[in-house]
Structure 1
Amino acid sequence: MLYAVLLPFIISIIIPFVSKFKDKVHTGYFVTIVPLVVFIYFVRFIGEGFSPVTRNYNWIPSMNINIDFYMDGLSLLFVLLISGIGTLVALYSTFYLHKSEKLGNFYVYFLLFMGSMLGVVLSDNVFGLYTFWEFTSLSSFLLIGYWHHREKSRYGALKSMMITVFGGLSLLGALIYMSVITNTTSIQGMIAQKELILNHEFFPLIMVLLLLGAFTKSAQFPFHIWLPDAMEAPTPVSAYLHSATMVKAGIYLVGRYIPIFAESDWFFIAVSGFGIITLCWGSFMAVRQTDLKGILAFSTISQLGMIMAMLGFGTSVAIFAAVFHILNHATFKGSLFMIAGIVDHETGTRDIRKLGGLMTLMPISATLAVIAAFSMAGLPLPFLNGFYSKEMFFGATLELGGGSGLVYNLKMILPYLAVLGSIFTFVYSMYFFFGTFYGKKPQEDLPKKPHEAPIGMLIPPAILVLGVILIGLIPELINKPFIAHAAEAIYGKEVDKHIYFWHGFKLPLIMSLTVIAFGTILALSRTKWSSIYGIIPGKLSMNKVYDGFMERLVSYSGTVTKGYMNGSLGRYVRWILLAILVVTFSVFGITGGFALSFDNVSPIDVSALPELLVAIMMVIAAVGTIITNNRIAAILILGVVGYGLAILFVIYRAPDLALTQLIVETVTVALFLLVFYHLPQLEKRNDSIGTKTFNIAIAAGFGLLMMMVGITAHSSKYFDVISDYFLKNSYKLGGGDNVVNVILVDMRGLDTLFEIGVLGLAALGIYGMVKLRNERKEDS
Structure 2
Amino acid sequence: MTITLSIFIPFIAAIFVPLLYKRLQSRKIGWFVLLVPLTLFAILASFIPSIAKGETYTHTLRWIDSAGIHFTTYLDGLSLIFSLLITGVGTLVILYSIYYLSERESLGRFYVYLLLFMGAMLGVVFSDNLMVLYVFWELTSISSFLLIAFWYHRKKSRYGAQKSMLITVSGGFAMLAGFIMLHTMTGSYSIREIVASIGLYTDEPLFLISMLLVLVGAFTKSAQFPFHIWLPDAMEAPTPVSAYLHSATMVKAGIYLVARFTPIFGGEMTWFYLVSSVGVFTLFWGSFNAVKQTDLKALLAYSTISQLGLVMSLFGLGSAALNEGHSANSVFYAQATFAALFHLINHSTFKGALFMVVGIVDHELGTRDIRRLGGLMSFMPVTFTIALIGSFSMAGLPPFNGFLSKEMFFESLVNARNLELFDVGTLGTLFLVVAWLASVLTFVYSMIIVFQTFLGKFQPDRIEKPSREASFGMLIAPSILAIFVVGIFFFPNIIGDYLLRPAMTAIYPTLAGVGSLMPRIVPWHGFTNPALWMTVGVVVLGIILYWSFRHWRGIYTLAPLKWNLDSIFNANLVLLEKGSSYFTRLYMKGYLKDYLVYIFTFFIVVVGGAIFLTGSYSFDFSNDAPITMNEYLIVLAMAVAGISILFAKSRMTATILNGVLGYSIAFFFVVFRAPDLALTQAIVETVTTALFLLCFYFLPEWKKERSPVRTKVVNGLIAFSVGSIVTVLALAVQGNKMFESISVYFEDAYRLAGGTNIVNTILGDFRAFDTMLEVVVLFIAGIGVFTLIKLKVRKEERDVEDQ
TM normalised by structure 2 equals 0.89
**Where in structure 2 are the equivalents of 1:358-397 lying within 5 Å?**
358-381=376-399, 384-397=400-413
Note the C-alpha offset of 1:116. 1.1
Note the C-alpha offset of 1:160. 1.2
Number of the residue aligned with 1:501 = 523
* 1:190 maps to 2:207: no
Asked if the contact 1:36–1:84 (Cα under 8 Å) also holds between the matched residues in 2, the reply is: yes
Note the C-alpha offset of 1:673. 1.8
Instruction: Tell me the amino acid that sits aligned with residue 624 of structure 1.
Output: S
Number of the residue aligned with 1:4 = 6
Could you say what secondary structure the match of 1:184 adopts? Answer: coil
Q: Pick one of 462, 469, 480 that aligns with 2:479.
A: 462
User: Residue 38 and residue 717 in structure 1: after superposition, are their counterparts in 2 closer, same or farther (change >3 A)?
Assistant: farther
Number of the residue aligned with 1:552 = 575
For 1:703 and 1:352, the matched residues in 2 are separated by: 71
For 1:733 and 1:273, the matched residues in 2 are separated by: 52
**Where in structure 2 are the equivalents of 1:508-547 lying within 5 Å?**
508-535=531-558, 538-547=561-570
Instruction: Tell me the amino acid that sits aligned with residue 128 of structure 1.
Output: V
Number of the residue aligned with 1:45 = 47
User: Residue 390 and residue 186 in structure 1: after superposition, are their counterparts in 2 closer, same or farther (change >3 A)?
Assistant: same
Asked if the contact 1:318–1:392 (Cα under 8 Å) also holds between the matched residues in 2, the reply is: yes
Q: Pick one of 328, 331, 335 that aligns with 2:353.
A: 335
Asked if the contact 1:134–1:168 (Cα under 8 Å) also holds between the matched residues in 2, the reply is: yes
Number of the residue aligned with 2:454 = 437
* 1:696 maps to 2:716: yes
Instruction: Tell me the amino acid that sits aligned with residue 658 of structure 2.
Output: L
Q: Pick one of 449, 454, 467 that aligns with 1:450.
A: 467
User: Residue 704 and residue 98 in structure 1: after superposition, are their counterparts in 2 closer, same or farther (change >3 A)?
Assistant: same
Asked if the contact 1:319–1:491 (Cα under 8 Å) also holds between the matched residues in 2, the reply is: no
Could you say what secondary structure the match of 2:104 adopts? Answer: coil
Asked if the contact 1:93–1:236 (Cα under 8 Å) also holds between the matched residues in 2, the reply is: yes
Number of the residue aligned with 1:412 = 429
For 2:387 and 2:176, the matched residues in 1 are separated by: 40
Instruction: Tell me the amino acid that sits aligned with residue 694 of structure 2.
Output: L
Asked if the contact 2:277–2:313 (Cα under 8 Å) also holds between the matched residues in 1, the reply is: yes
For 2:252 and 2:390, the matched residues in 1 are separated by: 19
Asked if the contact 1:286–1:428 (Cα under 8 Å) also holds between the matched residues in 2, the reply is: yes
Instruction: Tell me the amino acid that sits aligned with residue 637 of structure 1.
Output: L
User: Residue 412 and residue 136 in structure 1: after superposition, are their counterparts in 2 closer, same or farther (change >3 A)?
Assistant: same
- Structure 1, unaligned runs of 5 or more: none
Could you say what secondary structure the match of 2:483 adopts? Answer: helix
For 1:71 and 1:767, the matched residues in 2 are separated by: 43
- Of 199-208 and 553-562, more deviation after overlay is shown by 199-208
Number of the residue aligned with 1:321 = 339
User: Residue 58 and residue 454 in structure 1: after superposition, are their counterparts in 2 closer, same or farther (change >3 A)?
Assistant: same
Asked if the contact 2:74–2:127 (Cα under 8 Å) also holds between the matched residues in 1, the reply is: yes
User: Residue 709 and residue 112 in structure 1: after superposition, are their counterparts in 2 closer, same or farther (change >3 A)?
Assistant: farther
Note the C-alpha offset of 1:704. 3.5
Number of the residue aligned with 1:344 = 362
Note the C-alpha offset of 1:509. 0.5
Number of the residue aligned with 1:23 = 25
Number of the residue aligned with 2:111 = 107
Could you say what secondary structure the match of 1:380 adopts? Answer: coil
Instruction: Tell me the amino acid that sits aligned with residue 389 of structure 1.
Output: S
Q: Pick one of 576, 585, 588 that aligns with 2:599.
A: 576
* 1:491 maps to 2:508: yes
**Where in structure 2 are the equivalents of 1:671-710 lying within 5 Å?**
671-708=691-728, 710=730
Asked if the contact 2:185–2:206 (Cα under 8 Å) also holds between the matched residues in 1, the reply is: no
Q: Pick one of 59, 72, 76 that aligns with 2:76.
A: 72
User: Residue 614 and residue 517 in structure 1: after superposition, are their counterparts in 2 closer, same or farther (change >3 A)?
Assistant: closer
Instruction: Tell me the amino acid that sits aligned with residue 684 of structure 2.
Output: V
Asked if the contact 2:148–2:237 (Cα under 8 Å) also holds between the matched residues in 1, the reply is: yes
Asked if the contact 1:273–1:410 (Cα under 8 Å) also holds between the matched residues in 2, the reply is: no
Instruction: Tell me the amino acid that sits aligned with residue 629 of structure 1.
Output: K
- Of 581-590 and 724-733, more deviation after overlay is shown by 724-733
For 1:404 and 1:64, the matched residues in 2 are separated by: 38
User: Residue 240 and residue 537 in structure 1: after superposition, are their counterparts in 2 closer, same or farther (change >3 A)?
Assistant: farther
For 2:391 and 2:793, the matched residues in 1 are separated by: 61
Q: Deviations over 1:323-374 (max 9, x none)?
A: 0000000000000100111111111111111111111201111111111111
For 1:138 and 1:305, the matched residues in 2 are separated by: 24
Number of the residue aligned with 2:162 = 158
- Of 231-240 and 174-183, more deviation after overlay is shown by 174-183
Number of the residue aligned with 1:293 = 297
Note the C-alpha offset of 1:656. 3.7
For 1:81 and 1:769, the matched residues in 2 are separated by: 41
Asked if the contact 2:26–2:103 (Cα under 8 Å) also holds between the matched residues in 1, the reply is: no
- Of 522-531 and 177-186, more deviation after overlay is shown by 522-531
User: Residue 393 and residue 772 in structure 1: after superposition, are their counterparts in 2 closer, same or farther (change >3 A)?
Assistant: closer
User: Residue 131 and residue 594 in structure 1: after superposition, are their counterparts in 2 closer, same or farther (change >3 A)?
Assistant: farther
For 2:632 and 2:389, the matched residues in 1 are separated by: 94
Q: Pick one of 162, 166, 173 that aligns with 1:169.
A: 173
For 1:746 and 1:414, the matched residues in 2 are separated by: 55
Asked if the contact 1:356–1:436 (Cα under 8 Å) also holds between the matched residues in 2, the reply is: yes
Asked if the contact 2:749–2:758 (Cα under 8 Å) also holds between the matched residues in 1, the reply is: no
Note the C-alpha offset of 1:746. 7.5
For 2:445 and 2:607, the matched residues in 1 are separated by: 62
Note the C-alpha offset of 1:681. 4.5
Number of the residue aligned with 1:621 = 641
Q: Pick one of 421, 428, 431 that aligns with 2:438.
A: 421
Number of the residue aligned with 1:265 = 269
Instruction: Tell me the amino acid that sits aligned with residue 443 of structure 1.
Output: P
Asked if the contact 1:269–1:407 (Cα under 8 Å) also holds between the matched residues in 2, the reply is: no
Asked if the contact 1:198–1:260 (Cα under 8 Å) also holds between the matched residues in 2, the reply is: no
Could you say what secondary structure the match of 2:533 adopts? Answer: helix
Number of the residue aligned with 1:231 = 235
- Of 276-285 and 261-270, more deviation after overlay is shown by 261-270
For 1:538 and 1:746, the matched residues in 2 are separated by: 57
Note the C-alpha offset of 1:122. 1.4
* 1:85 maps to 2:101: no
TM normalised by structure 1 equals 0.92
Note the C-alpha offset of 1:451. 1.2
For 2:233 and 2:345, the matched residues in 1 are separated by: 25
Could you say what secondary structure the match of 1:453 adopts? Answer: coil
RMSD: 3.1
Note the C-alpha offset of 1:297. 0.9
Asked if the contact 1:265–1:407 (Cα under 8 Å) also holds between the matched residues in 2, the reply is: no
For 2:94 and 2:441, the matched residues in 1 are separated by: 32
Note the C-alpha offset of 1:458. 0.8
Number of the residue aligned with 1:140 = 144
Q: Deviations over 1:372-403 (max 9, x none)?
A: 1111111133xx11110000001001111244
Q: Deviations over 1:633-658 (max 9, x none)?
A: 11111222333344454456554444
For 1:539 and 1:755, the matched residues in 2 are separated by: 47
User: Residue 444 and residue 55 in structure 1: after superposition, are their counterparts in 2 closer, same or farther (change >3 A)?
Assistant: same
Could you say what secondary structure the match of 2:74 adopts? Answer: strand
Number of the residue aligned with 1:34 = 36
Asked if the contact 2:269–2:422 (Cα under 8 Å) also holds between the matched residues in 1, the reply is: no
Number of the residue aligned with 1:476 = 493
For 2:647 and 2:700, the matched residues in 1 are separated by: 18
- Give the % identical residues: 47
For 1:733 and 1:370, the matched residues in 2 are separated by: 64
Instruction: Tell me the amino acid that sits aligned with residue 30 of structure 2.
Output: G
User: Residue 587 and residue 481 in structure 1: after superposition, are their counterparts in 2 closer, same or farther (change >3 A)?
Assistant: farther
